[in-house]
Structure 1
Amino acid sequence: MQQHRAQAFLFDMDGTLIDSHLLVERVWEAWCARCDLNLDDIRQYTHGVRTEDTVRMVAPHLNVAAEVAWMEEIETDTTGGIAPLPGAVEFLAQVPAGRWAVVTSASFPVLKARFDACEIRLPEVVVTSENVERGKPAPDPYLLAAQKMGIDPRNCIVFEDAPAGMASALAAGCRVVLVGDFISREPGVIGHITDFAQLTFSVDGDLLLSAPEPVLKGLRAIA
């Protein structure tokens, strides 16, 4: 059994806590049709980053703010087809209040709509696209979350599903557990799960995250 000690857990939202893949895909497909773009050409730029950053990268000739507003209106009004990832609700219910945060590339209205639809309580600290000048993969979102919680990023464990989010967390100095199909051996990645039921934790002042190998790799935890 491997254990890693942390003072807080920081969670990405889409693909990590909430399965919104079909909805996100439909929104980007509709936007590409609206702008005469090919979704297959831009899909690699949409995963885990802010909508505004993707639009700015793939269609810099457009009014970024207007296009983002168009997509976010759909995303806040439509929540069909989304659901919590396996074990996520049960896992979050065990984490003490004030010891976890959500760090997402979505806007706050989109975050709120999806959490409400999945009946997940919002934590005391959330970092959304509006809160940082630089989104993932820059370290700013996770640095801000740790700062708001008053915790050193090195004492945070991040749960992420996308390369951009992983890069953001590692650059901030956090350790990372990957969720879903994305697997990486980057230093600082301490494990990979497909179901939060694979993890257990206890509280002894700190949070002790536990799982059998190879779910959590035998890397040195920060005491």
Structure 2
Amino acid sequence: MLLDMDGTLIDTEPLWIAAETELVEAHGGSWTHHDGLQLVGKPMAVSAGILRSRGVDLSDTEIIDYLNERVRRGVAARVPWQPGAHELLLALHAAGVPQALVTSSFRVLAEPFAEAVGLFDVVVSGDDVTHAKPDPEPYLTAAHRLGVDVRTCVAVEDSPSGITSALASGARVVGVEVLVPVPARPGLSRVSSLTRIGLEDLARVAAGQVLDAGELA
């Protein structure tokens, strides 16, 4: 299993948007919830460039460090699990399924989360790869580190860029609709919540079936 973090497993998007808003407003600009949604799933460097275009007079590195620290504090205070996410990870672990965390967030945020959860065999963060999502490199890297063929893996994602990355890697993909719509795409299974998908459903997806919300238990 290859699993995205932000939005998919934990509800960090409100933390990211709050940090972005705080940063832009501190530099005299304005930032809306809609603006924040446009950054969902984007590489950190891309997000930093967009924030600079909105008036943030800092380097990419300074912006990225600021956002990561604000979100890290929020997650450290309380892991904001998405409904059904922790239960699914526990069920996969009990079934002996190897799990990789594949996230655009940097290791400074991903590693503490992975260590606290204690269920991931591999962590691939945004600063571990040359080409971030939507490039397939993160998912190909995760499968390689797990020692498996990516075509035998199921990836779970919530953002358009993450879904594009996972599909391009050759993995079977489940898209979870959280903050942004998940349109139908060839080979993409879709679900409204991780509470709606179980191990049997994931086995069907791994076998090549494309399932939609109405077909999931």
Flag whether TM exceeds 0.5 (same fold): yes
Return the alpha-carbon distance in structure 2 between the equivalents of residues 193 and 48 of structure 1.
18
| Cα drift, residue 180 of structure 1 | 2.5
Correspondence for 1:208: 203
Q: RMSD value over aligned CA atoms? A: 2.9
Structure 2 residue aligned with 1:135: 132
Which string of whole-angstrom CA distances, capped at 9 and with x for unpartnered residues, describes residues 35-66 of structure 1?
A: 33432474354101222221124526741112
| Distance in 1 of aligned mates of 2:44 and 2:29 | 15
Match of 2:52 in 1: 59
| Paired residues of 2:89 and 2:119 also in contact (CA < 8 A) | no
Matching residue of 1:170:
167
> 1:109, CA displacement in angstroms?
2.0
Q: Higher mean Cα deviation, 22-31 or 37-46? A: 37-46
Unaligned segments of structure 2, at least 5 residues: none
**Larger proportion of strand:** 1
Q: Which residue of 2 aligns with 1:83?
A: 80
**Aligned pairs for 1:141-180 within 5 A:** 141-180=138-177
What code does the residue aligned with 1:35 have? H
Whichever residue aligns with residue 66 of structure 1, its letter is E
Distance, in Å, in 1 between the alignment partners of 2:97 and 2:86 is 16
Cα distance in 2, alignment partners of residues 139 and 171 from structure 1: 5
Q: Give how far 1:201 is off.
A: 3.0
Q: Which residue of 2 aligns with 1:221?
A: none
Gaps of 5+ in 1: 1-8, 219-223
1:100 alignment partner in structure 2: 99
Report sequence identity in percent. 27
Q: Deviations over 1:155-179 (max 9, x none)?
A: 1111111001001111111121111
Q: Which residue of 1 aligns with 2:42?
A: 49
The answer to which structure, 1 or 2, has the higher relative contact order (CA under 8 A, 6+ apart) is 1
Could you say which structure has the higher helix fraction? 2
* Aligned residue in 2 for 1:6: none
Q: Alignment partner of 1:39: what SS?
A: coil
Give the TM-score normalised by the residue count of structure 1.
0.78
1:37–1:169 Cα change, 3 Å: farther
Q: 1:99 to 1:77 in 2, by over 3 A?
A: same
Deviation at 1:214, TM superposition (A): 3.8
- Sort the Cα spacing of 1:81 and 1:125 in 2 relative to 1 into closer, same or farther, 3 A: closer
Q: How far apart, in 2, do the equivalents of 1:57 and 1:22 lie?
A: 18
Instruction: Say which of 111, 123, 126 aligns to 1:126.
Output: 123
Instruction: Decide whether aligned partners of structure 1 residues 45 and 36 sit closer, same or farther in structure 2, where only a CA change above 3 A counts.
Output: farther
Count of matched residue pairs: 204
Q: Residue 133 of structure 2 contacts residue 165 of structure 2 at CA under 8 Å; is this kept in 1?
A: yes
Q: TM-score, normalised by structure 2?
A: 0.80
